[in-house]
Amino acid sequence: MKKQPAIMHLPILLSLLLVPFVSNGQALPEKKPYITTKRKIMMDLTDAGLSLKNGLYIRIFKHDRVLQIFVEKDGTYRLFKVYPICRYSGDLGPKKKQGDRQAPEGYYSIMKHHLNPNSDFYKAVNVGYPNEYDRSHHYTGSAIMIHGGCSSIGCFAMSDSIMMELYFIVAAGLQHQKVIPVHIFPFDMSDRNMEKFMNMKEDNDITNTINSLPGKEIGYKYADCIGLWKTLKEGFDYFEKNRIPPKVNVVNGNYVIARLREKADE
């Protein structure tokens, strides 16, 4: 049989390059916006010298309304994308119960079954709430998402165009790693910000009036969050120093940064 010219295989090669990612058993449609996003992200990765075949790490800062994506290279994680969060609901502090419309804080994980390309809010990625820590404290609720639509009742809402990019990156990353850590912080946990928010007074006039009565002190607004925030700061500081996501365990209902614990045991 006469051998066909190599050029005859070009359509086959192109079709392989444009195979959609499969997530949660469903394939993303190969529509023009998706293809355009795919090309853009791949060009950005090439320019940065990064690859989605390496590890991904996501950080969210609620007060700053920022989502960061890091990609591993040569053993450390490099900042790849910074996306604005269109909206999140609730105040600073953890989510504790179903219906409180509060966005969570803590150390979470994204896996393939957390992807939803057909969300009512364009596309969605479940952050994995509740985790082991939440369950140990009997916190309730579920289906806390990063999604499109720019509207939130307990989730992290992005614009649809940003969500398309974010979804592509996460879905592509999960082809090469089983779990993507997503760490949700109340704010950029610098020493200065910790002091600022830990010492913030109640801003409710009625509460302040009651607490100002003889024998009463004005309360701290986030007093119930301080214990959690201190453990979140340990993980934040670990990454800032080492540029590697910390390994986190839950021991007796508390987050424990594994490497810090191992170092302390030496």
The answer for 229, left when phi > 0, alpha when psi is -120 to 50, beta otherwise, is alpha
- d(CA 53, CA 60) in angstroms, rounded, equals 22
Q: Which residues are catalytic?
A: 147, 155
* 3-class state of residue 266 by DSSP: coil
- d(CA 28, CA 34) in angstroms, rounded, equals 8
DSSP for 96-134 reads -STTS-----EEEEE-GGGEETT-TTSSEEE---S-HHH
Q: Establish whether the linkage from the previous residue to 5 is cis, with ω within 30° of 0.
A: no
- Distance from the Cα of residue 234 to its chain's centroid: 17
- d(CA 202, CA 208) in angstroms, rounded, equals 7
For 135, phi and psi rounded to 5 degrees? Answer: -65, -35
DSSP class of 4: P
∠ CA 152-155-158, rounded to 5°: 70
Side chain identity at 60, as an amino acid letter?
I
